[in-house]
C-alpha cells in the first residue's frame, strides 16, 4: 500500500511503516503517555530509527532476537525499543520483569537473544549476550539504519512469553502481517485515548497497548505500576475515553473506599478481559457508572480468536464474551463442530496469519492446525447466539462421573458480599475421583467464615457443585497479568481436603 503525505510517499508493509506515516499526519500529538515520559509520534518515529540503526551498527542481523525485559515504568522506552527492533529487522522478545529470575532465564534460553534493552540490569546479568543497553542509554546511529524496503514484510516480528496459569513458559511467534491486522487509515478522530495498567510485555499490553497508537492513531496512557487510587487519579487527570482493567484490577478499583468521589464523566468505555469476569463486578460498575459502555473481551496470546460484547445486555449475562463470530467455533472431544445451543465444547479460532510456538514443533502441532488454534477454553452458545465461557478444559472437574466447570462455582462465590477473589480446583478423592475445593480472599473490612460462604454457595449452585473444602487466604497468587495461579493452590487445597476427610 502506498500513501502520500505532502511530498512524502510511504510504503506501508509493516506496522513500523504505519508509525512513519502517522508521524507525518500526527507529528506533534502524543502517541505514548507513560506518565514518567510522554512521546509524540514524531519523537517515537525518530528514536525508533536512531535506535534501530544503533542496533544494526552493533551487529544485529535480520532475524536476531532482542530481549526486552522492560517494566511499565518505562512505557515510552518500551514502545521505542520494540519499534527500533522492527526497524533493524530483528525479532522483539518482551518479557515481564515481575517473573522469577528462573522464568526469565528460561525464556532467554528458549529465544537465545544476542541483544538486550532493559531497565532491570541485575535480572539479566547472568545471561550471555553480545550487547546490552539500559533504557536510558540505548544505542543511536541513524546512518546505520537498514533500508526498510529491504526487510522481509512477512518475517517474524515478536516472540511473546506465555504459560497461561500452568506449565513451562513458551514463546508465541507473531509475524509482521499479523501485526498489520486492524491497522486503520489516518482519517480518523484523533481525540481518543486509552488508559491501562496492563504489562506491556504480554499479549494484551503489547499487541493492544504498545501497538495501539501506530495501529489506530489513539494515545496510549500506561500506569507505571497498578494501584487503585493511582488509577483513579489518572482517570481524573488524563480524562481518557476508554479504560482497560483486567477483572482483578477492576475489583480493586470498585473496592476502593473513595471510588465514588472520582469523575468518570469523560470515560465512554470500560473494557475488561484476560480472565473470567465476575458478574457482580459488572453489576457494581454499571450501578456506579451508568453512562459507561462496559465491554468484556476474550482473546489469547496464541491468536486465532478475538471478540467482545457489544451491548449492555450481553455483558450482563454471566460469562458472556459476545456473539460467536464466523472465525470461531466450538468442537467436541472428537474435534467435531458443535452446532447446537447449550452444548459445552472447546473453543477453536481461525487466523489468516497463524501463530506458532518458537522452537517447539510438537507443542505447535498440538495447538495449531490448518490455521485453527485449539484454545483449551470451554464454552457454549446460548439461544441468542452469544458465547458463554465455561472455564478451561484442563481445569474441568470430574466428580463422581459428572463434569463440573470451576467457572460456574467461582461466579457464585464472587456474588458473596465479602468475597474479593475466588478460585476453584479439583482435588483427589479416593471414591469420587475428584472433589471440589475453593480458595477465596475477602474484601477489605469484610468478614466471613468458610461455613457462611459455603451456605451462600448452596443457594446458587447444585449441591454436587458446592465445594467440600474452602480456605480463606489473605490474597490469592496471581501471575503478572492478574490471573489466579491455580497450580499454586492445588497442593494446599488437596492437603486441606485430605485433613477435612480425616477429621470427619
pLDDT of residue 190: 55
Poorest-pLDDT segment among 39-43, 94-98, 468-472, 500-504: 500-504
Q: Tell whether 331 and 360 lie within a shared domain.
A: yes
Q: Tell whether 388 and 422 lie within a shared domain.
A: no
Q: Beta partners for 260?
A: none
Domain-embedded: residue 14: no
CB atoms within 10 A of CB 241: 16
pLDDT of residue 165: 46
List pLDDT tens digits, range 155-167. 999 999 986 544 6
Domain-embedded: residue 27: no
User: What is the distance between the alpha carbons of residues 371 and 353, in angstroms, rounded to a whole number?
Assistant: 8
Q: Tell whether 120 and 69 lie within a shared domain.
A: yes
Q: Tell whether 369 and 441 lie within a shared domain.
A: no
Domain-embedded: residue 200: no
Give the mean pLDDT of 442-449.
94
- The enclosing domain of 163 has a CATH number of 3.40.50.980
User: What is the distance between the alpha carbons of residues 410 and 338, in angstroms, rounded to a whole number?
Assistant: 26
Q: Tell whether 57 and 145 lie within a shared domain.
A: yes
User: What is the distance between the alpha carbons of residues 272 and 481, in angstroms, rounded to a whole number?
Assistant: 12
Strands (E) in 64-208, as ranges, are: 65-68, 91-94, 115-118, 131-134, 156-162, 170-175, 193-196
State the distance between the two ends of the chain, measured CA to CA, in whole angstroms: 71
Q: Where are the alpha helices (DSSP H) in 272-405?
A: 279-288, 312-315, 361-367
State which of 155, 179, 203 marks the end of a domain. 179
pLDDT of residue 167: 61
Collapsing DSSP to helix, strand or coil, 184 comes out as coil
List pLDDT tens digits, range 205-245. 999 999 999 999 999 999 999 999 999 999 999 999 999 99
pLDDT of residue 3: 46
Half-sphere exposure in the Cβ direction for 293 (13 Å, CA): 9
pTM, to two decimals = 0.87
Q: Tell whether 68 and 170 lie within a shared domain.
A: yes
Q: Tell whether 352 and 477 lie within a shared domain.
A: no
**Contact assessment for residue 239 and residue 34, using Cβ atoms and an 8 Å cutoff:** no
Domain-embedded: residue 5: no
Poorest-pLDDT segment among 7-21, 146-160, 168-182, 324-338: 7-21
Q: Tell whether 372 and 405 lie within a shared domain.
A: no
Average pLDDT of the chain to the nearest whole number? 91
Domain-embedded: residue 338: yes
pLDDT of residue 198: 92
Collapsing DSSP to helix, strand or coil, 33 comes out as strand
Q: Tell whether 54 and 169 lie within a shared domain.
A: yes
Biggest distance spanned by C-alpha atoms of the chain: 82
- The enclosing domain of 336 has a CATH number of 2.30.38.10
Q: Tell me which residue has cell 532493559.
A: 118
Number of domains making up the chain: 3
Which residue in 377, 240, 359 sits closest to 300, CA to CA?
377
State which of 124, 149, 179 marks the end of a domain. 179
- Per-residue confidence band for 1, with pLDDT thresholds at 50, 70 and 90: very low
Write out the residue range of the structural domain in which residue 171 sits.
Answer: 39-179
pLDDT of residue 2: 39
Poorest-pLDDT segment among 18-32, 176-190, 226-240: 176-190
Q: Tell whether 495 and 384 lie within a shared domain.
A: no
Domain-embedded: residue 1: no
List pLDDT tens digits, range 374-407. 998 999 999 999 999 988 888 889 898 888 889 8
Q: Tell whether 488 and 386 lie within a shared domain.
A: no
DSSP annotation of 325 reads P
HEC sequence for 118-159: ECCHHHHCCCCCCEEEECCCCCCCHHHCCCHHHCCCCCEEEE
User: What is the distance between the alpha carbons of residues 453 and 473, in angstroms, rounded to a whole number?
Assistant: 13
List pLDDT tens digits, range 53-63. 999 999 999 99
Look up residue 38 and give its three cell numbers: 510522554
Alpha carbon 175 to chain centroid, angstroms: 18
**Contact assessment for residue 63 and residue 91, using Cβ atoms and an 8 Å cutoff:** yes
pLDDT of residue 280: 86
- Per-residue confidence band for 50, with pLDDT thresholds at 50, 70 and 90: very high
Amino acid at each position: 500500500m502506498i500513501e502520500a503525505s505532502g511530498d512524502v510517499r510511504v510504503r506501508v508493509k509493516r506496522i513500523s511503516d504505519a508509525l512513519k506515516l502517522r508521524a507525518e499526519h500526527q507529528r506533534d500529538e502524543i502517541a505514548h503517555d507513560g506518565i514518567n515520559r510522554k512521546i509524540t509520534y514524531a519523537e517515537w518515529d525518530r528514536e525508533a530509527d536512531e535506535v534501530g540503526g544503533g542496533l544494526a551498527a552493533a551487529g544485529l542481523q535480520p532475524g536476531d532476537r532482542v530481549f526486552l525485559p522492560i517494566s511499565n515504568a518505562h512505557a515510552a522506552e518500551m514502545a521505542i525499543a520494540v519499534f527500533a527492533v522492527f526497524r533493524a529487522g530483528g525479532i522483539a522478545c518482551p518479557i515481564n520483569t515481575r517473573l522469577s529470575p528462573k522464568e526469565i532465564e528460561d525464556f532467554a534460553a528458549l529465544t537465545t537473544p544476542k541483544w538486550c534493552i532493559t531497565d532491570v540490569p541485575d535480572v539479566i546479568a547472568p545471561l550471555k549476550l553480545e550487547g546490552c543497553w539500559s533504557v536510558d542509554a540505548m544505542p543511536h546511529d541513524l546512518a546505520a539504519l537498514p533500508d526498510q524496503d529491504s526487510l522481509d514484510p512477512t518475517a517474524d516480528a515478536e516472540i511473546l512469553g506465555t504459560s497461561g496459569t500452568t506449565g513451562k513458559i513458551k514463546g508465541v511467534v507473531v509475524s509482521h502481517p499479523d501485526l498489520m491486522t486492524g491497522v486503520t487509515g489516518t482519517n480518523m478522530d484523533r481525540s481518543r485515548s486509552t488508559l491501562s495498567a496492563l504489562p506491556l510485555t504480554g499479549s494484551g499490553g503489547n499487541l493492544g497497548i504498545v501497538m495501539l497508537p501506530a495501529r489506530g492513531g489513539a494515545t496510549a496512557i500506561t500506569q507505571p505500576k497498578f494501584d487503585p487510587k493511582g488509577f483513579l487519579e489518572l482517570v481524573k487527570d488524563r480524562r481518557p475515553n476508554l479504560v482497560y482493567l483486567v477483572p482483578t484490577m477492576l475489583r480493586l478499583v470498585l473496592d476502593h473506599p473513595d471510588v465514588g468521589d472520582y469523575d468518570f464523566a469523560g470515560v465512554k468505555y470500560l473494557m475488561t478481559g484476560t480472565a473470567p469476569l465476575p458478574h457482580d463486578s459488572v453489576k457494581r460498575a454499571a450501578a456506579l457508572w451508568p453512562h459507561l459502555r462496559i465491554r468484556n473481551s476474550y482473546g489469547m496470546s496464541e491468536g486465532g480468536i478475538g471478540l467482545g460484547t457489544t451491548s449492555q445486555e450481553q455483558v450482563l449475562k454471566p460469562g458472556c464474551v459476545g456473539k460467536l463470530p464466523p472465525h470461531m467455533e466450538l468442537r467436541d472431544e472428537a474435534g467435531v463442530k458443535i452446532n447446537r445451543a447449550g452444548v459445552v465444547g472447546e473453543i477453536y479460532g481461525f487466523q489468516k496469519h497463524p501463530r506458532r510456538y518458537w522452537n517447539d514443533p510438537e507443542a505447535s502441532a498440538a495447538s495449531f492446525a490448518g490455521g485453527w488454534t485449539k484454545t483449551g477454553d470451554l464454552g457454549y452458545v446460548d439461544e441468542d447466539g452469544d458465547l458463554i465461557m465455561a472455564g478451561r478444559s484442563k481445569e474441568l472437574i470430574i466428580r463422581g462421573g459428572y463434569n463440573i466447570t470451576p467457572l460456574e462455582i467461582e461466579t457464585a462465590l464472587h456474588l458473596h458480599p465479602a468475597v474479593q477473589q475466588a478460585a476453584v480446583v479439583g482435588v483427589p478423592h479416593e471414591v469420587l475421583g475428584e472433589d471440589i475445593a475453593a480458595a477465596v480472599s475477602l474484601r477489605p473490612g469484610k468478614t466471613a467464615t468458610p461455613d457462611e460462604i459455603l451456605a451462600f454457595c448452596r443457594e446458587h449452585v447444585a449441591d454436587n457443585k458446592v465445594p467440600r473444602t474452602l480456605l480463606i487466604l489473605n490474597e490469592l497468587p496471581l501471575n503478572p497479568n492478574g490471573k489466579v495461579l491455580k497450580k499454586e493452590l492445588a497442593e494446599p487445597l488437596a492437603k486441606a481436603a485430605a485433613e477435612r476427610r480425616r477429621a470427619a
